[in-house]
Amino acid sequence: MIELDGVGRTFTVRARTGRLRRDTRVVHAVRDLSFEVAAGEFVGYLGPNGAGKSTTIKMLTGILTPTSGRIQVAGLDPSRRRTTLARRIGVVFGQRTTLWWDLPLRDSFTLIRHLYKVDQKVHQSRLAELCEVLELGGFLDKPVRQLSLGQRMRGDIAAALLHDPPVLVLDEPTIGLDVVSKAAVRDFLRGLNAERGTTVLLTTHDLGDIERLCRRVMLIDHGSLAFDGTVEDLRATAPEGASIEEVVTRLYTRQAG
């Protein structure tokens, strides 16, 4: 469902180093990254700050064009076929909403129905279902800017799934959520993967997400893949009895050193 082959992405940054001097520096956000995610998998994408997780997600969705390598998502090259891919993928950015700030949630959903050309009947039943599981009923008529973070996040997740995509990628979907909202989002994602067979890739800094949701974990550091395996494999990298935090801390610091 998702295939990366030797993918790299660099950014040229200009920094002022003196009064007139400007140095250009090349940042390798992602380098020589290759992995595959099969249909129906639930993958956690871990890594310290600045490791290249968001950059990867943006390349998978066609927002960023890779500087090297090949990507295929749902059979398409994201940067070349971005608008076609949009119909087959759902995207959630936890840090920033993809909804229209001034529109009530309900209008955003109607707009999405038209943009993705979803049939009215199909849309109604899908929306009703999402409203029920994600408990959106209470704030459907509020403009997005008035929603709390947890409400907005649930709205964003619903919006990403209205067109029933086979792949869902989420960049930190549980950031800033309280325990109850977090549990609701996790339950929902688990159900989505189990019942509809949706392929899910999510990045997170919350190891609870990994423990409770992901069968497979990928760990990226300084732009390259440092670990890829099951949660049990991940635990096995540390002495018996270590908590998941300790396991991940070991991996993060080992890579940095």
Partner 1 sequence: MTRVYVLLVVTWIRAAAQYPVSMTLLTAGSFLVTGLDMAAIAVIFSHVGSLGGFTLPEVMFLYGASGMSFALADLLFGNVDRLGQHVKAGTFDAMLIRPVSPFVQIAVERFSFQRLGRVAQAATVLAIGLAHLHVPWQRLWMIPVMVVCGIVVFTAIWTIGSSIQFTLTDAGEVGHAFTYGGGQLTQYPLSVYGADLVRAVTFIVPLAFVNWQPGLYVLDRPDPLGLPYWLRFLAPAAALVLACVAALAWRSGLRRYRSTGS
Ligand X SMILES: Nc1ncnc2c1ncn2[C@@H]1O[C@H](COP(=O)(O)OP(=O)(O)OP(=O)(O)O)[C@@H](O)[C@H]1O
Q: Quick check: 134 and 92 in contact, CB under 8 A?
A: no
Measured from the CB of residue 172, what is the shortest distance to partner 1 in angstroms?
Answer: 10
Angle (nearest 5°) at CA 89 between 206 and 135: 60
Q: Which stretch binds partner 1 (CB under 8 A): 33-41, 77-85, 196-204, 248-256?
A: 77-85
- The 19-38 contact track toward ligand X, x by CB under 6 A, reads --------x-x---------
Does the footprint of partner 1 cover residue 62 (CB under 8 A)? yes
Residue 32 CA neighbour count, 13 Å, CB half: 1
**C-alpha–C-alpha distance, residues 97 and 223, integer Å:** 25
Q: Decide the pairing of beta strands 216-221 and 224-230.
A: antiparallel
Q: Quick check: 159 and 99 in contact, CB under 8 A?
A: yes
Take residue 149 and report the two structure tokens written for it: 């973070």
Which residue in the set 51, 71, 76, 225 belongs to the binding site for ligand X (CB under 6 A)?
A: 51
Residue 154 CA neighbour count, 13 Å, CB half: 28
Take residue 38 and report the two structure tokens written for it: 């099969």
For residues 82 and 196, which CB has a smaller minimum distance to partner 1 in the complex? 82
- The 2-41 contact track toward partner 1, x by CB under 8 A, reads ---------x------------------------------
Does the footprint of ligand X cover residue 55 (CB under 6 A)? yes
Does the footprint of Mg ion cover residue 54 (CB under 5 A)? yes
51 interacts with, out of ligand X, Mg ion, partner 1, none, CB within 5 to 8 A per kind: ligand X
Kindly write down the DSSP assignment for every residue of 148-196, as one continuous string: -HHHHHHHHHHHHHTT--SEEEEESTTTT--HHHHHHHHHHHHHIIIII
Which residue in the set 1, 8, 42, 47 belongs to the binding site for ligand X (CB under 6 A)?
A: 47
**C-alpha–C-alpha distance, residues 168 and 183, integer Å:** 18
Which residue in the set 103, 140, 183, 238 belongs to the binding site for partner 1 (CB under 8 A)?
A: 103
Burial class (CB in 10 A: 0-12, 13-18, 19+), 100: middle
214 interacts with, out of partner 1, Mg ion, ligand X, none, CB within 5 to 8 A per kind: none
Applying CB under 6 A, the residues found at the interface with ligand X are 11, 13, 27, 29, 47, 49-55
Applying CB under 8 A, the residues found at the interface with partner 1 are 11, 54, 58, 61-65, 79, 82-84, 86-87, 89, 91, 93, 95-99, 102-103, 107, 110-111, 114-116
